[in-house]
Amino acid sequence: MSHYSRGQHYYIKSDWYVWFLGNSSRYSIFHTFLWKYGNGEMVSYTDLTQTEKIGSVKLKIDSIKSTIREGLALGFIEAYKAENDKRVTMYTFSPDILDEITDYCFMMRRNRMWESASFISNHSSESINSKLAQAGMKKEWIDSINNFIAKFALTVQTKFGKNQLPNVIPINIQKSK
């Protein structure tokens, strides 16, 4: 088994893909948007000021504002006023690109699972396997990804019917308290 992620996915030339994943700040913002969207929430400036890019460097407010303005102008991001405080603006992905982002997430998750399974089965000891399992993603990220996939699976079943895509099933999510 070789590295599956080296294969190009459908969206490598899509404008949203090139823009979001084109530099470390937008890449970090993209993942914050994914995390919040997976939890059924929108993104605020506060969320973005807590976002870190490569090297654990927090994003600067001026960079955040200009990136959000550019994303809005390009149609990749949409803005809404918060329900509880109309002075606060919240952001989320544009519905125009959500199908592609969802598909991209499925493909990337599949590729990572294949690569991880191959590496772990071929190149590691039991002690390394244990350390890899402990060093994995934060529980909040895993919960968010599972929530996103569960919602998408239900949407697919509603739109196309259970008989059309029998392999797309919702994941049972148990919320941690």
Question: CA distances (Å), 102 to each of 8, 95, 106, 118, 119, in order?
Answer: 16, 11, 6, 24, 26
Do the strands 77-81 and 57-58 form a parallel or antiparallel pair, or are they unpaired?
A: unpaired
Residue labelled with tokens 């989320």: 92
Domain boundaries, the chain: 8-95, 96-160
Token duo for residue 77: 């991001």
Q: Higher pLDDT residue, 71 or 22?
A: 71
Q: What is the pLDDT of residues 68-110, one digit of tens each?
A: 999 999 999 999 998 888 889 999 999 999 888 888 887 777 7
Question: CA distances (Å), 127 to each of 57, 119, 124, 130, in order?
Answer: 31, 14, 8, 5
CATH class given for the domain over 8-95: mainly alpha
pLDDT for position 57: 82
Whether 37 contacts 93, CB under 8 Å: yes
